[in-house]
């Protein structure tokens, strides 16, 4: 019985490895074209350099418009602490201010 179990495990491993190799060889991922751009202004460079690493401009520009500066500051701090966003402590206020001014309750 032990031999049968070992043979079954070996077969499953071989089949699994073959499937992974076949999928990886033919797998291509195409990202959709960017359709948005960040609004120019103070803080735009920090947002482009630090937020667009993980988020598209489309994602940023489609956030709810009724959020105040405190919301955006908390979001930026969460991205830094929880997800490891490379935002320097002295840049948090500038990034949050840019987002609030351009995409929050302070936007036009």
Distances from the Cα of 96 to the Cα of 17, 40, 83, 89, 100, angstroms: 46, 15, 16, 12, 6
Task: State the pTM of this model.
Answer: 0.67
Find how far residue 31's CA is from the centre of its chain: 13
Indicate the domain borders of the chain: 44-103
pLDDT in tens, 41-82: 999 999 999 999 999 999 998 888 889 999 999 999 999 999
Angle at 55 between CA 54 and CA 58, to 5 degrees: 160
Considering the domain 44-103, what is its CATH architecture? Orthogonal Bundle (1.10)
pLDDT band at 34 (very low <50, low <70, confident <90, very high): confident
Predicted pLDDT at 83: 94
Q: How far apart are CA 88 and CA 46, in angstroms?
A: 10
Write the burial class of residue 12 (CB in 10 Å: 0-12 exposed, 13-18 middle, 19+ buried).
exposed
């Amino acid at each position: 019985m032990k031999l049968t179990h070992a043979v079954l495990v070996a077969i499953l491993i071989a089949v699994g490895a073959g499937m992974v190799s076949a999928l990886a060889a033919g797998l291509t991922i195409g990202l959709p074209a960017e359709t948005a751009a960040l609004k120019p202004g103070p803080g735009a460079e920090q947002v482009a350099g630090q937020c667009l690493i993980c988020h598209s401009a489309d994602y940023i520009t489609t956030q709810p418009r009724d959020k105040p500066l405190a919301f955006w500051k908390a979001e930026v701090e969460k991205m830094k602490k929880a997800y490891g966003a490379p935002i320097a402590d002295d840049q948090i206020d500038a990034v949050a201010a840019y987002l609030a001014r351009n995409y929050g309750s302070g936007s036009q």
